[in-house]
Amino acid sequence: MELDKNPISAWLQEDDTDRLETLWHAADRVRRENVGDAVHLRGLIEFSNHCQRNCFYCGLRSANKKIRRYRMDLDEIVHCACQAKDLGYGTVVLQSGEDPGCSDHWVASLVRTIKEQTGLAVTLSLGERGRDAFLLWRDAGADRYLMRFETSNAGLYARLHPGAPGLEERFRQLLWLRELGYEVGSGVLVGLPGSTHMDLANDILMFAELDLDMIGIGPWIKHESTPLGRGELQDNTDHKRVAASETMTYKMMALARLACPRSNIPSTTALATINAENGCEHGLRRGANVLMPNMTPAVHRADYEIYPAKACFLESSEQRFRIENIGRYVGTGRGDSPNRDARI
């Protein structure tokens, strides 16, 4: 499928179900040919919900005084990582808000301890922390880094992230991660107020340009304790509003698979939140090959409220059954991205 801008935005505006079937099939075939039928499980540990940022869409934003903030200590996090190993996962994902309370050196010792005790692949998702921190953590053994750019529209990005460095800085940080040898992941939100089909088409082109190893795509979910949830963003463009819908999310996932055939693409929690019944399976059949079961201790889980009613893939035989039920199997080993292997 030719991937210049017009066909992408045409697909994004397609609503004929038969034609969409061809997109789902193409994405599923390209997924199978490039990353196979394994579904890799990543144990997600949301270890701190402190955040110094004020992203317009996110419940963890610092101006939101309604949530209870927590920060797990090193032993507690390492304990979760050991559980992930016992469950047979190949990777732990350590995620937090942009939390200056977690010093660069503390994070380095966390990574080092987890590597020593489990040998698992370690993915970090801690926001923009700068080149020195990225280098320190890479030396400590970190393998991968996730940092979504959220939208490729620089003007919209600036409006959604007041007081933060702009989109250029985010791309610069992603480039540093690449130079330091991380597997690099990024992604976007689908249906952000003020975004257009052309923006989403550009997002796809940007995935390819960045040559991403991992791509996370989820629908924007309205959170009442955020400016976007309260409708405070002035959307004065006259474009057709992009739906923050399930179908639009599948379209983006399928197009991301076609644009970046060898990348690892999760079927995201946000998708499972808007369709608890089978969003996860649909995602896996329309381009995705990764799931991220939530390992955050139950006492903290509800406080990591990026958006309301967040679903959780928890470890269970039912989850594994769901994977096998659609003709796939649970991956073993680290599940590195063949995209990075091909590059180096």
Binds ligand SF4 by CB under 6 A, chosen from 61, 251, 282, 310 = 61
Partner that binds at residue 220, options ligand 5AD, ligand SF4, none, CB closer than 5 to 8 Å by kind: ligand 5AD
Q: Which two tokens stand for residue 52?
A: 């110094």
State which residue, 91 or 226, has the beta carbon closest to ligand 5AD: 226
User: Which residues would be at the binding site for ligand 5AD (CB under 6 A)?
Assistant: 57-58, 148, 150, 189, 218, 220-221, 223, 270, 306-307
185, 146 in Cβ contact below 8 A? Answer: yes
Binds ligand SF4 by CB under 6 A, chosen from 31, 40, 53, 286 = 53
Q: Nearest distance from residue 153's CB to ligand SF4, in Å?
A: 17
Partner that binds at residue 127, options ligand SF4, ligand 5AD, none, CB closer than 5 to 8 Å by kind: ligand SF4
77, 87 in Cβ contact below 8 A? Answer: no
Residue 259 as a binder of ligand SF4 (CB under 6 A): the answer is no
Binding mask 92-111 for ligand SF4 (x = CB under 6 A): -----xx-------------
State which residue, 98 or 199, has the beta carbon closest to ligand SF4: 98
Residue 190 as a binder of ligand SF4 (CB under 6 A): the answer is no
185, 211 in Cβ contact below 8 A? Answer: no
Write the CB contacts of 201 (distance below 8 Å, at least 6 apart in sequence).
5, 8, 9, 12
The total of other beta-carbon atoms located within 10 Å of residue 302's CB is 12
Write the CB contacts of 212 (distance below 8 Å, at least 6 apart in sequence).
184, 185, 186, 260, 263, 339
State which residue, 282 or 328, has the beta carbon closest to ligand 5AD: 282
Compute the distance between CA of residue 229 and CA of residue 232 in angstroms, rounded to an integer: 8
DSSP string, 258-321: HHSTTSB-B--HHHHHH-TTTHHHHHHHTT--EE--B-S-HHHHTT--SSTT-------HHHHH
Q: Nearest distance from residue 344's CB to ligand 5AD, in Å?
A: 26
Secondary structure class of 244 (helix, strand, coil): coil
Residue 60 as a binder of ligand SF4 (CB under 6 A): the answer is yes
Partner that binds at residue 90, options ligand SF4, ligand 5AD, none, CB closer than 5 to 8 Å by kind: none
Q: Which two tokens stand for residue 104?
A: 């660069």
Q: Nearest distance from residue 127's CB to ligand SF4, in Å?
A: 5
Partner that binds at residue 98, options ligand 5AD, ligand SF4, none, CB closer than 5 to 8 Å by kind: ligand SF4
231, 307 in Cβ contact below 8 A? Answer: no
Residue 159 as a binder of ligand SF4 (CB under 6 A): the answer is no
Amino acid of residue 134 = F
N- to C-terminal Cα separation, the chain: 26
- Using the structure block, give the residue that is written with the tokens 């690892």: 264
State which residue, 280 or 306, has the beta carbon closest to ligand 5AD: 306
Q: Nearest distance from residue 101's CB to ligand 5AD, in Å?
A: 18
Compute the distance between CA of residue 64 and CA of residue 52 in angstroms, rounded to an integer: 11
Q: Nearest distance from residue 135's CB to ligand SF4, in Å?
A: 21
**H or E segment and range at residue 306:** none
Q: Where in 123-152 is the site for ligand SF4 (CB under 6 A)? A: 127
Interface residues with ligand SF4 (CB under 6 A) are 51, 53, 55, 58, 60-61, 97-98, 127
